[in-house]
Chain A
């Protein structure tokens, strides 16, 4: 792998369905917006390299499905994530009020104690706003998270949201420094492969 990569970070995007998680990711990784993006099934991920504070980091960003039914599946992929983006839709109060539940979910399943959390209010381009900035900020303050507003459609705030989060992770060396960074490496783990079943049926 590239020599100059400081570290590889794993970042999660979680939140209710339809708040624009995949759109935020698409905007950030490919600077693109697709109004007809299909529903995410289970989890998906994209990678991107980023220059933060003079060091190059590789991001593996895991996008998750927001539907309740997938919640038996997605938390397995929270493992070892250093950062999490909790997305809600500023034009839907229901998605905001579910944030508490998502924070609990993170608390329960994330394996790192000091995972950095960021709340993103998406779709600020929409006229009909149901969640005020003040209220969202109060919520973020109460839960010690970062807060940023963005629009995947107009590109506002997307880049800075990711950069801010990575910046914060880099400032917390405990998160990424001392542990082996092998969660992204591919290949032998030195243990006999227990699953001899080929193909994908064993995955889900």
Chain B
């Protein structure tokens, strides 16, 4: 029996399961494939097994990594050319959209102070919340400047123009399809979702790009469909719920970059949670409720009953995605702790 895969990622907020685009991409991809993941949502980036700190981009995340390519691969049905297209659009996103996302969330003064820093400062535990957001801000700023190193100074308006074009191209490529390659989601859908959903959901004071995105109806629908189909119960902040923690090994160091580790490799034996959590509440992360037994429909296809019945779940999913949309799902009340 293989050890369970565990995913460490940033906590959720803004109506999303995770606020960090890279974490969100892996999380979404995992949901698409039905890979059994144990998810730990952290608000303290010093506690991940990989020991990687919160350096953005320390994982060059071209496409969400297939966990076990034979078993959980959302791209299994794609033709070779569709695989090539995936790679191309991933590049487009990384080159054109990512810099602007960094700029929108971390560099734009109004957005950073009133939205991003506020959220992180409220979410990261004391006393780290006093300096971590600033560190992250600096790193993002540096990352953005270095990306463009050698290209001369690129004015923000040029970045935004490129990003608007990128969004328009994505919208044209998607057209009236449900997902980018037909009726079932693939890794490209996960990546696009992870980049667009934060932009769509965050309540940014300065929402230039947001407005452009909102005018592209099919991209908005794409995000909304994925959110309601694959994250029916944890749209809200999962972190500050009713203290529902799992007794999982959140032993060593923290990491907002998604890191999938096998349980056996994961550091020292686990002390009880209570002994580990400092009084100010590092109780971070909880497990999704176990999915109910599979309810296969005739014909082998499974339908998601709880969310949007008109959207069929692709038949290749190994695990049913129909969790009960229980009202008792913890922490859906709001993104902020008090």
Co-assembled chains A and B: no
Interface residues of A (CB under 8 A from B): none
